[in-house]
Amino acid sequence: MATWKGEFQISVLGFAGLSLGTFELHKLRAKQIKTELICPECQVEVEGIPISERYKCPKCGRRFKSWYQLKRAVKSGSGYIPIPPKNTEKTVKAELKLLDLSEVRGLVTKEEYVVIPRDEASRRNLQKIGAMLLRHNKVALFKLCFRKGGDQHIFYITVNDDGLIIARSIVPLNLVEPLPAGVVYAEENVPEQEIQELLNAMPKATEQDLILVDETIEAVAKAQPEEAQDLVKAIKQVMIKEQ
């Protein structure tokens, strides 16, 4: 699990950084269940081969172009226990349910999605939902499945600090790793004077603070078309090996 230990600091009036203390960053994640792709006939793990052919069974020699044609299984001793297929249907209508904003504390967020209305009436209803959630400190919880036989996902609709209405995908409570000891929640009883002192001391972020230098991306951008294609292939190969 990714962790970091170090200081948070702020620069005050051009002087050296003022330390706000030492902290740790712990990556929140779901419980990991290691599975393998196996041949549906031989019940043995398939071999990954070049992209053009994808997968091959080492026992019967059958080739598979997509992992959809394979079975997912959990290793048990010297064999495998196939995971039964999911009897799920693609969600067409997702039911919204209200949840207090305080109840989402500690939930592990996986991804964020923007919510795009398809017509004017939908846009107005989304605005009403956003206003309701914001004013009453609520979120709108819902479940959906993207495709037949796929995983179910839990989302909640909320409003960002900038007013953008988004849907956050979360890890279900029964599948999330426990929060590390020492987590902190915001405190409402901090004296306003202390807040103002910190607000005045902390410098304002600029556009440059939202930019990272990535040598890999820079190299691709500078390379000639032919060189860029070779570089991209090399990067993909490294990524595949690291996964």
pLDDT tens digits along 149-181:
888 889 999 999 899 999 999 888 888 887 788
Please check whether residue 29 is in contact with residue 177, taking contact to mean a CB–CB distance below 8 angstroms.
yes
| 53 and 20 part of one domain | no
Does the pLDDT at position 237 exceed 70?
no
Q: For residue 135, what are the domain limits?
A: 97-175
pLDDT at 231: 64
DSSP 8-state secondary structure symbol assigned to residue 152? E
Mean pLDDT of the 227-242 span = 59
Alpha carbon distance 235, 217 (integer Å): 10
| 22 and 68 part of one domain | no
At 112 the three-state DSSP class reads: strand
Residue 91 lies in a domain: no
Residue 139 lies in a domain: yes
**Which residues have a Cβ under 8 Å from the Cβ of 26 and sit 6 or more positions away?**
1, 2, 3, 180
Q: Which of 151, 147, 144 is nearest to 168 (CA)?
A: 144
Residue 186: CA count within 13 A, CB half-sphere: 4
Residue 104 lies in a domain: yes
Q: Which of 178, 150, 153 is nearest to 90 (CA)?
A: 150
Q: For a pLDDT cut of 90, what percent of the chain falls above it? A: 21
Residue 88 lies in a domain: no
| 44 and 11 part of one domain | no
| 57 and 102 part of one domain | no
pLDDT at 1: 47
Q: Which of residues 188 and 89 earns the better pLDDT score? A: 89
- Burial grade of 5 (CB within 10 A; 0-12, 13-18, 19 or more): exposed
pLDDT at 243: 42
- What are the backbone dihedrals phi and psi of residue 166, each rounded to the nearest 5 degrees, phi first? -130, 165
Does the pLDDT at position 117 exceed 50?
yes
Mean of all residue pLDDT scores within the chain: 81
Q: For a pLDDT cut of 70, what percent of the chain falls above it? A: 83
